Structure formats: C-alpha cells, structure tokens
Chains A and B, each alone.
Chain A
Amino acid sequence: MSTRTGLGPAAPATPDAVNSTAGKASSSRGRRRGLRRIAAVAMVAGPGLVAANAGNDAAGIATYASAGSQFTYGTLFFMVLVTVALVMVQEMAVRLGAHTGKGLGALIREQFSLRLTALAVGCLLLANTGLVVSEFAGIGAAFELLGVPKWAVVPPAAALLWALVLFGSYRWAERIFLVMSLAFFSYPIAMVLGHPHWGEVGRNLAVPHLRPSSDFVLLAVALIGTTVSPYMQFYAAAGVVDRGAKPEEYKLIRADAVLGAVFACVISLTIIIATASAIGGSGPLQSAAEAARALEPVAGPGAELLFAFGLLGASALAGAVVPLSASYAIGEAAGVERSVSRRFRDAPLFLGVFTAQIALGAIVALTPVDVIQLLIGTQVLQGLISPIVLVYLLVLTNRRSLLGAAANGPRYRIAATAVVVGVALMSTVLLVQTILGWLGLA
C-alpha cells in the first residue's frame, strides 16, 4: 500500500490515538463499497445527480425565481426546450468521457489546435469565474437574510472554503453543505401547497410560445446559462472518467446522465411554478427575501430562514467544486500537475488558477451591485459562453477518428446541431440587442 508524503495529519502518536481512528478508517472503504453496491443497482447516485444538484445553486435559484416573478408561467415552455438541450449535451459529454477515458480539457488539447484550446479554456475560465462570483454573492445574500452584512461574511467564507479544499477536510464540510442544500427540495411541496393554476401551467408547458420582448430574451439566455452551463459538461465528463467507466457500461452511464438532467430541470420547473404562484406578475425579482416568499406555503414565517439555509448550503457546495473543476480542466489541457495536495511550488498553475478564481469571485461579489442583478448577470455571461463550448463538444462527438462507432449518427448530428444553433441564436439575439441598446437604437 502507498504511504506517500502528503499534507495530511501526522501519524497518531499514542495507542489511544490509534484506537480512536481505527474503527473509522478501516470501515471507510467498506462503506464506500456499500455505496458502490447501491450505485450499481441504481446508477442514479452517480455524478448526474450531484451535477444536477449543483446546478440548483444560488444563481440558478435567483434566475428561476426571477422567471417566475416576471413572467409567471411564461417561461415554462422554454424550460422544456432547455431540458431537451441539457439532456443531449450531458449525454454527449458523458459519451466522450466513457469512450475515451479522458477529460474534456485533455481531449480539446489533443484534438484542436493550441489557439482553439486556449479559446476554450479561456471561455471556461471566464464563465466559471462568473459562477464563483455568483456563489459568493449567494453566500452574502443568505447571510443578509439573517441580518448579517455581506462584507462581514464573504471574505472569511472565501478564505474558509479555500483553506478547506487545500488542507483537506473538505469532505466533511461537503456533506454538511449537501444536507443544507436539501432545503431546496421543499420547492416541489411549496409548488403543490401554493395552489398554482394547473390548467395554465399545463398549457404553458405544452403549447409552444416565446415572447419577443428584450426582457424575455435576457432571461432566456440566463436560463440557458444556468442550466447548460459550460462547467457542467466538463464536470460530467470528468465524473465519468474518474469512476473508470468503460464503454460497455455506457448504457447505464447514459441513463444516469439523462435522469440527472431531467431531474434537475424538473426541480427548476417547480421553482418557477412555486415562485409564480407566490409572487407571479410582480415584475422582476427585487431581493432574496422576495424569492423566499415562495417557500411560505411550506415553512410559513420560517420561509426566509429555510431559504437562507438552502442558499448557503448550495452556494458553499458549488463554491468549492466550480473553481476546482475549472482548474482541473485547465491543468489537464496544459498537462501540469493537478492535485490539491501538492504544494504551490509543484502545481503552481493548478493552485494558482484555483486561488485566483476564489479571490476574484469574492472581490466581485463584494461590489455594491444589487445581488439579484449580479446573480442573473453571471448567468447571462454563462449563457453567452455556453454555445462556444457546445461547438467543441459537438465537433468532438462528430469525430469518427475519436469515437469510432460511438460518434454521432447522421440523425443525432442534425438534432445536436439544431440544439447548438438554437442556443447560439439566443445568445446572438441578446448580444445584438445589448449593442443596439448601447447605441441607443433599441
């Protein structure tokens, strides 16, 4: 067995210490196997679900809540389209991971020119830094609901997350955050208890309609960004690679990815519907407190507390994983050491990128911009970058030289291209609109 040096705790010095750690350590692998067994029965406990859960982070909640308050049920059909897009995109990402055994970062470096690699990595870094900003803004918003100013919370929270990840007791913290973020599973209950107009909901889900207003386009791009975010694809592929999934197990992996994507979108839909029936039609979302009102049917006066709880858990959870996954992809593409247990001297790029993202995220989150605006803004940025990353994904999955028989067939290729073009079209419309707005022509 390996006994390599690391930054871990020193060996227990006394027999008593040995005793106290013995049971825990020897059972940890047994427990992991037990989990593995459950996962084999229902692979749903795989990365798909984790990724889906990470998707409902602070910025996601803000975007969905804003959709509900501004357009009531008007965005539901669009969300159905986004669900289809997410399912296809996630499927492509895990297919690449399962068939090549390499992460997206490595694949892009090996299959594209260096300049195109730099573009992809740059886009991912930009999008992810935006996400990190939104996570810290979410932590700030959660504490402001409890009456603590954000400038007092965000810097220590950033330092704490950074230290937890680098000095390796993050596993415990992660579990706590995960349990906290389960608060958001009260949304489906809130939706039912909030007595929405089910007929309206059904009609909006099934009947195709899009509103040609500039506000709608902005929010639509934010919805795309928060659901089909660039980091999600990297994360999904990395998850499959690290579990050592083989091409033979691809059917299970695909089921996991598809279920995860659908599940995430169903949760998103419940958030939109619950918010719509609580504060629908009151114009754009004003504050986190307003968003928390959607949970009143469940928690009554404790709604704000419950909301703050979930927001804090989800934000903290993603606040570590998001910067890590970007650093990981960049390290993979550059071909340098990537492990959080290395010293700065050994893995300067990996740890530097990780640290820079957290620092930048915390600083931007402290700017006195309205929190909700900031959260939605970061998701719009994701939505603008998303099509660029999707193009890489599409080109890679079309390559027979890479995937052989698992490459996209002609029909799938048309469908996937349509998805990418659709996403790109929304982003382009928004860009044109914004530029026209600056020029005063809109």
Chain B
Amino acid sequence: MATSTLFGSTTARLRDRRVNLEHRATASRAVRSSLVSLAGLIGSPVTNQAGAEVGRLTDVVARLYGPDPYPPVTGLILRIGRRRAFLPADTVGRLGAGRVELRASRVDLRDFQRRPGEVLLARDVLDHQLVDVDGIQVTRAADLYLAPLVGRTVLVGVDVSLPTLLRRLGPRRWQVRATPERVLDWQSVAPFGEQATEGPAEVRLRASRSALHRLRPADLADILEDLGRSERQQLLGWLEPEQAADALEEMEPAELENLLREARPEHAARLVDEMEPDEAADALRDLQPGERETLLARMPDADAAELRGLLAHREGTAGGAMTTRLVTARLEQTVAEVRAELAAQAEHRTEIDAVVVLDAAGRLVADIPLFDLVVAEDSSPLTDLVAWLAQFGDPVTLPPDTRLARAADRLVAARKSSLLVVDADGRPLGRILADDILDALLPERGRLHFRRFLQ
C-alpha cells in the first residue's frame, strides 16, 4: 500500500517534471524562432513580393537614441550591384532567419542619410564595446537580436557569449540560427554609437540611461578602466558630473591620470572640481605641471586656490592626504543649528565624521564626534558638550608635515576614525580620515592589470 502510493507519487513527479521540461523547451523554441540574429541577417538576400532577389543586405539601421525603450529598426541598407541603397522599414514584409522579404514588388531606393539618433547596427554596435549594467562589466556584442513587436521590428537584446562567437565563425547554416544563451536585455546595456549623431536634448537625457545611475561608484570606476578612449569619454558625457566625480575617486591613479589627460580640458576641470578636495589634489599631483595648470585655470577661482593650497603639501604627509572639507561651529551655537549645518553638507557625508569647534579667533577648541552630536539634546549649547568632552582629553592634532606612518600611529593610539591637521597657530587646516591613511599604508592590491607590466 505504502509502496504503491510512493511509487504512484514518484511516477507523477516524473511525469510532472517531463511536462515541465517540455513546456520549457517549447517556450525557448518559441523565443528562439521569434528572435532574428543580426549576424545571420547580414549578407542575406532581399527578395521582393514576387520572390525575385533585389539585392543583398549589408546593414540594419535602428534609432538607438530615441524615446522608445527598445530601438526600432528604421530601415535596411542594401547592396545592389555596386550601389548601396536605403530601404525604409515600412517596405519590409518579413525579417526572418537568413532572408528578408519586401512588401511590394517595386522598391523605391534612396541613398542613405543618417537621421538624428540613428546608427548602423552591424557597423557601429556589433563587435563593439558596450556596458552591461547588470553584470557590471564591459563586454563586446557577439550578436544582436531583433524581434517583431506590434507591427515593427525592434532590437531586443545583445548576446555576449563565447559560443555565439564560435557560431558566427561557422558555416552559413549556423550563422542564421539564434542562440540566446546569454542575452542581455537591451534595457540593461549602454551601447556606444561612435558615429551616431546626437538626438534632441531630452532624448539624450533618456540615453544617459537610468540604468547607468544604478551603478555604484566603484563599479563605474571598474567600467571606466576597461573602456576604450572614445567610449570612455562618451560615458563620462552621459553621467552627471557629481556621479562621474564619485567614480573617478575610486579609479586607479594611473588610469585616472590617463582619463583626465584625454578628456577635453573644460570637462576634466569640471570633474576634478566636483571631486573631494583631497582626491582632487591626488589626481592633480599625478599630472604634469602644464596639464595641472590647464585644469586649475579652468576652475572657479576659490576652488582652484583651495586645491593649490593642498598641492603645496608633500605627498606622504598629513597635509598631502587630508581633506579640507571641515564642518565648523562656534561655542555659542546649539546642537540643532549644527545638525542643520550637517544636513546642508549631506553630499559630503563620506568626508565628515566630526564637527570642529572654533573660538572667536578661529583657533581649535574641540572636535565633536558625530555620535556625541546625535545623542545630545537639540537645545543644548555646544559649550556644554565641549565641557563634557574635555574629560577625554584634548583633540588629537597633527602638523601638516607629519609623515603618514606617524599619523597612523597617532590614529591607532587615539582610537579615533580621523585626526585634525592644524597649522602652527592652532587653526585647523583639514582632516585626515582613517581611510586615507589606509590607502596610503596598504600596498597596491589585487587588480594587477596587464598594463602594470608596461609601465
């Protein structure tokens, strides 16, 4: 009895599994048959309604930068004898595996003119670099898949798998077969059309692709390091300067140096200006004096002066590694006022871990950690807080020419997350954070690109 139920349930399970597998197979067959491989299309014959060959397909035109989520195919480029001609998409009847049928028997051929936002898929996108936003990597398009969607053909995905490359190397019969094993949805890639004319402005904002904004700065930095020169500049152009600057702060110094040198000076200056001052100073230090001046000259005067001040300090000293982003307060202010000040500085949250209290002459009185501000009453004046903190000793300070190794010792001894850098008169110049010290102390890690062998 028990065995029979067990047996029965097993067969039922097996049957269910088989049915499921069949379902999946049919589904994937259906997907596969509806997808058209671009690599397989190129070079295929184009026939008119009567079945006579008009010419051979050389490229597919799509509007890459436009309002549509999936780029629609706007036309085909044919080779007829020695002439290249353009066919608008509405004359196409069927785009299938390895052949194209036209809707009419007579075709009206024109010469191809690029319209805004259009690219040639085979020439500009296939085999070129693109950013896979989900996988956070730079890859090359091994194949592009087109699919019919409500009366027109759209570009739905990019294939990035190695087997697809092998398929394209094979005979014609393999080439036309779509093999969607590792396909990225078009929504989650950022392609580069080097030759594409820019669309209208609001379209460009769309093209800046919400997808890219999902990336963390460190991921963006990785991607920027892997891109070719023109692609890299294009991607930087799509990003908001603030977001780009955050990514630049995460880049390898040598790579960042290259990026700044190849960008337009105005753009590079804008990016460096957006970076946190200590990172910006690091980046500028790596450039040659002439290049450095070019960028500084294009920044707002106040920012340039601040950076020049930082650059005056030697690398490997506290002054060279500090950030000048200080939140200062006076003794008579209340905790609530200081909190409002902090809220206004939210974009620099990674650089702030304490509030500096100054006397009327601008000299350092105390350094209040954020924790103590959080637990303090809104209405209490800073005087009380400072008095309470005095029991833990004076704030730990360093002169700007302290070697970093020494600064690290002081930091460890003080059990703090940052130290203040002060000048000879006791005026705070900046703050040196634990992560800056770590960066300086840890040997270069991992990420050994081939390029390190070339320097």
Contacts and interface: CB of A to CB of B under 8 A. Distances in A.
Interface residues on B, range: 35 or more
B450 A33 contact: no
A40 B403 CA distance: 28
Contact of B449 (A21, A174, A340): A340
Given A2-B221, A8-B444, A339-B447, A238 B454 contact: yes
A22 interface: yes
Identify the interface centre among B129, B229, B441: most chain A CB within 10 Å of its CB: B441
Contacts of A115: 169
Contacts of B316: 26-27, 30
Contacts of A242: 258, 451, 454-455
Nearest to A346: B137
A340 B440 contact: no
Contacts of A114: 39, 127, 165, 168-169
B408 interface: yes
Interface in A1-57: 1-9, 11-12, 15, 18-19, 21-30, 32-33, 36, 40, 47, 50
A341 interface: yes
A335 B160 contact: yes
B250 A18 contact: no
A155 interface: no
B404 A339 contact: no
B168 A335 contact: no
Interface stretch (B2-10, B13-21, B389-397, B431-439): B431-439
Interface SS of chain A: helix
A392 to B, nearest CB: 15
Nearest to B261: A244
A321 interface: yes
A110 B451 CA distance: 21
Interface in A295-336: 320-321, 324-325, 327-328, 334-336
A25 B446 contact: no
Nearest to B130: A335
Given A2-B251, A30-B316, A109 B285 contact: no
Contacts of B169: 114-115, 118
A408 to B, nearest CB: 21
Contact of B315 (A7, A24, A26, A40): A26
A376 B252 CA distance: 41
Interface string A230-264: 00000100110111101000000000000000000
Contact of B450 (A100, A117, A340): A340
Contact of A1 (B138, B279, B453): B279
A175 to B, nearest CB: 12
Nearest to B219: A4
B446 A168 contact: yes
B257 interface: yes
Identify the interface centre among A101, A102, A241: most chain B CB within 10 Å of its CB: A101
B443 interface: yes
Contacts of B81: none
B443 A110 contact: no
A144 interface: no
Contact of A3 (B285, B435, B454): B435
Identify the interface centre among A24, A106, A324, A339: most chain B CB within 10 Å of its CB: A339
B430 to A, nearest CB: 16
A328 B226 CA distance: 12
Contacts of A403: none
Given A26-B315, A110-B128, A338-B450, A1 B455 contact: no
A4 B454 contact: no
Contacts of B286: 29, 33
Interface in A62-80: none
A49 B49 CA distance: 64
Contacts of B139: 335-336
A388 interface: no
B27 interface: no
A171 interface: yes
Contacts of A339: 447-450
Contact of B140 (A25, A109, A320, A340): A109
Interface residues on A, range: 35 or more
B235 to A, nearest CB: 14
Contacts of B229: 100-102, 241
B26 interface: no
A310 B137 CA distance: 41
Nearest to B315: A30
B446 A33 contact: no
B315 A18 contact: no
A153 interface: no
B297 interface: no
Contacts of A3: 435, 438-439, 442
A47 B445 CA distance: 24
A337 interface: yes
A344 to B, nearest CB: 14
A21 to B, nearest CB: 6
B439 A8 contact: no
A349 interface: yes
Contacts of B253: 29
A38 to B, nearest CB: 13
Contacts of A324: 450, 453
Interface string A115-128: 10110000000000
Interface in A166-187: 168, 170-171, 174
B366 to A, nearest CB: 26
B450 A328 contact: yes
A4 B451 contact: no
Interface string B258-293: 110110000000000000000100100110100000
Contacts of A334: 140, 162, 165
B343 interface: no
Given A1-B435, A15-B412, A102-B229, A26 B405 contact: yes
B445 A9 contact: yes
A40 to B, nearest CB: 7
Identify the interface centre among A24, A25, A337: most chain B CB within 10 Å of its CB: A25
Contacts of A243: 258, 454-455
Nearest to A324: B450
A1 B320 CA distance: 14
Contacts of A238: 450-451, 454
B441 A109 contact: no
Contact of B446 (A6, A15, A336, A349): A6
B230 interface: yes
Nearest to A19: B405
A114 B122 CA distance: 12
A25 B454 contact: no
Identify the interface centre among B229, B252, B315, B450: most chain A CB within 10 Å of its CB: B450
Given A29-B253, A239-B454, A243-B454, A7 B446 contact: yes
A23 B409 CA distance: 13
Given A8-B445, A102-B229, 9 more contacts: A3-B438, A3-B442, A4-B445, A6-B448, A21-B443, A26-B441, A30-B315, A335-B141, A338-B450
Interface of B: 39, 127-129, 137-142, 160, 162, 165, 168-169, 218, 221-222, 228-230, 249-254, 257-259, 261-262, 279, 282, 285-286, 288, 315-316, 403-405, 408-409, 412, 435-436, 438-455
6 contacts: A6-B446, A18-B412, A26-B405, A29-B253, A106-B228, A334-B140
Interface of A: 1-9, 11-12, 15, 18-19, 21-30, 32-33, 36, 40, 47, 50, 100-102, 106, 109-110, 114-115, 117-118, 168, 170-171, 174, 235, 238-239, 241-244, 246, 320-321, 324-325, 327-328, 334-341, 349
Can you list the 4 inter-chain pairs with the closest CB atoms, starting with the nearest? A6-B446, A335-B140, A101-B229, A244-B258
